[in-house]
Amino acid sequence: AQTVTQSQPEMSVQEAETVTLSCTYDTSESDYYLFWYKQPPSRQMILVIRQEAYKQQNATENRFSVNFQKAAKSFSLKISDSQLGDAAMYFCAYGGGADGLTFGKGTHLIIQP
């Protein structure tokens, strides 16, 4: 079974600074995909970024980028120029097929003004 580990229960960063959230996963599959979702206080899960395992190039979406290390099974999220609206729970998730995603326990990101 796949597992996803987020070792940082909480992170704090000053507004406009850069923060990196860590995620590691365990799988025996070679073809899969990884996600970062954001859950603001409204609790709706919002897709931040997606990475295909077969792609060596790291995904980027505006201020959000990932560092995907397939051999190390590591998938970290970097948020540049942090904004107050970035404050939320961030979940790393693994997907291997048409069934559901496996989620980590989340990292609570605090933005200090």
Partner 1 sequence: SQTIHQWPATLVQPVGSPLSLECTVEGTSNPNLYWYRQAAGRGLQLLFYSVGIGQISSEVPQNLSASRPQDRQFILSSKKLLLSDSGFYLCAWSRQGLKETQYFGPGTRLLVL
Answer for the pair 24, 91: CB distance below 8 angstroms, yes or no: no
Using rule CB under 8 A, residue 78 touches partner 1? no
4/50 Cα distance (integer angstroms):
15
Q: How many residues bind partner 1 (CB under 8 A)?
A: 27
Among 52, 63, 81, 83, binds partner 1 (CB under 8 A): 52
Residue whose pair of structure tokens reads 């996600």 in the numeric block: 35
Between residue 88 and residue 107, which ones bind partner 1 under the rule CB under 8 A? 91, 93, 95, 97-106
* Least Cβ distance, residue 101 to partner 1 (angstroms): 6
Using rule CB under 8 A, residue 50 touches partner 1? yes
72/11 Cα distance (integer angstroms):
22
